[in-house]
Amino acid sequence: MSQKHSILIVDDEPANLQKLKRTFIDEYRVIEAGSGEEALKKLRQGPVTAIVTDQKMPGMVGVELLKRSLKLSPDSVRVILTGYTEVEDLMDAINEGHVHRYITKPWDPFSLKEMIRRELENWDLRRENQRLADELAEANRQLARENRQLRQEVEVLKGDPGRLVYRSRSMEELIRLIDRVVETDSTVLVQGETGTGKELLARYIHRQSPRSGASFVPVNCGAVPADLVESAFFGHRKGAFTGAREDRKGFFEMADGGTLFLDEIGETPLEMQVKLLRVLQQQEILPVGAEKPICVNVRVVASTNQNLRSMVENGAFRQDLFFRLNVFSVHVPPLRTRPEDVRLLVEFFLEKCCGRINKRISGITENAMRLLESHAWPGNVRELENEIERLVILCDAGGWIDAQLLAERIRHQDDADVGRTGSLKEAVARLEKKLILDALENCQNNKTQAAKTLGITRQTVIAKLKQYEPGSLNS
């Protein structure tokens, strides 16, 4: 047996202590103690491989010593020497793991030494198995990290439409903040205007997380029919309702092991919100028509373009669900506040759209680029991408995108004329008109959606449109 093993021997009778020492001294490093208290002092100096102690000692008996030694030397082989009459008293200690083996008196040195030899061989084997298991676990973690990195590199080489493109400090700070939560399972609430790329950030969180190998399930909460919400989220069993001809998984079960993205969570009906809260807290769902709940392991990322705090105050959103979702909240800045990102985004979308449409163009003129950079982009990144796709379609193959191809709202920017002659009130009115008309165009004249984008009411949009009839404002 290797000399690396140390054995703490404990007995209050000096003759017995010397007998134990002679038994082990040739093969092990022996540490002596004449009482339980002295043994604990020795253990505080460092753990040992094995502890061999007498049971019946004044002050602290052997079982108590071995129990207290767990904190100081948890991996030690623990052996107790006892009389026949005390064996039954040791069974509870053995069952609880405080004692590994016991030897009845009178004990034979050869038998005790052989038993310790076998126990320490097993100890060596356990340590080696644990070392191999630790190395395997670390190798698996490293492999997972390398796989995620390789997937990201492949996505970049393919022109991944989901990769993040930015230069601005505000976006750098946002990504730095998000990188602190990706490795956890914490719920993330992504807030921001329509078109800022909230789903893109949710996908980034998923790709960077340990869940990247499982499913990412995006759900538009406002697009789920009210009468099918529960079935859509939790699934249903065959025959649960008319038309349920087979079992079907819901969004939570589809995302099991991965990430569920709840887009526009503020659109969720109130009666469904309490059920979502229970799932987030309990991590279990009850499919429609099922008798027993199903456990799920899902990381939730939610997004909204609304002010959930105001909705809570107005009774349109549950306060308890808001607090549960708002564990880690981030806000995506609108594109108008980070114009330095526009040029990068234009170049990225040009490459992406040319590849999808299978058309090559020479590029975009500097004059056209300056107009794109100075535009307010009320529809944010989504509006910019749609404009670039339109420009690629209109541009001749091999040609240049110049200012004449840009949409009229971009070529003739009222906000660029704010400084022209006239009062401050007139300049503000012109800018307000431009933002509202741009939002309506971007939302296909949907007044409700345009109002949400601008953060005003639908009634305000209608009232402003009446003001914009011919002759009401200089254009």
Note the pLDDT tens digit of each residue in 139-173.
777 766 666 555 554 454 444 545 788 889 999 99
The encoded tokens of residue 441 equal 């165009």
Mean pLDDT of the chain: 84
- Please count the residues of the chain: 475
Q: Using 50, 70 and 90 to split pLDDT, how confident is the model at 202?
A: very high
Stretch 63-70: mean pLDDT: 88
Among the residue ranges 145-154, 352-361, 396-405, the one predicted with the least confidence is: 145-154
Among the residue ranges 64-73, 177-186, 195-204, the one predicted with the least confidence is: 64-73
**Long-range own/partner contacts, residues 396-399 (CB < 8 A, 24 or more apart):** 396/361, 397/359, 397/360, 397/361, 398/360, 398/361, 398/362, 399/361, 399/362
Q: What is the DSSP letter of 213?
A: T
Beta strands per DSSP E along 16-90: 29-33, 50-54, 77-82
Please report the pLDDT score of residue 429 as a whole number. 73
Among the residue ranges 295-309, 407-421, 428-442, the one predicted with the least confidence is: 407-421
Give CA–CA dist 104/82, Å, rounded.
Answer: 5
Give CA–CA dist 206/301, Å, rounded.
Answer: 9
Radius of gyration of the chain (CA): 35
Q: Using 50, 70 and 90 to split pLDDT, how confident is the model at 449?
A: confident
Stretch 450-465: mean pLDDT: 84
Please report the pLDDT score of residue 179 as a whole number. 92
Q: Using 50, 70 and 90 to split pLDDT, how confident is the model at 416?
A: very low
Please report the pLDDT score of residue 471 as a whole number. 39
Please report the pLDDT score of residue 156 as a whole number. 44
- Angle, helices 342-357/366-374, rounded to nearest 10 degrees: 120
| Cis preceding-peptide flag for 106 (omega within 30 of 0) | yes
Stretch 64-90: mean pLDDT: 79
Is there a contact between 339 and 374 (Cβ–Cβ < 8 Å)? yes
Q: Using 50, 70 and 90 to split pLDDT, how confident is the model at 114?
A: confident
Give CA–CA dist 99/24, Å, rounded.
Answer: 20
- 3-class DSSP state of 285: strand
Q: What is the DSSP letter of 399?
A: -
Query: Which tens digits make up the pLDDT trace of 279-290?
Result: 999 999 999 888
Please report the pLDDT score of residue 145 as a whole number. 63
> Could you tell me what percent of the chain has a pLDDT over 90?
42
What lies within 8 Å, CB to CB, of 33 at 6+ separation is 8, 9, 10, 39, 41, 42
pTM: 0.56
Give CA–CA dist 106/86, Å, rounded.
Answer: 13
What lies within 8 Å, CB to CB, of 335 at 6+ separation is 195, 196, 341, 342, 345, 377, 380, 381, 384
Stretch 423-448: mean pLDDT: 76
Among the residue ranges 52-61, 121-130, 192-201, the one predicted with the least confidence is: 121-130
Q: Which residues pair with 190 in a beta bridge?
A: 303, 330
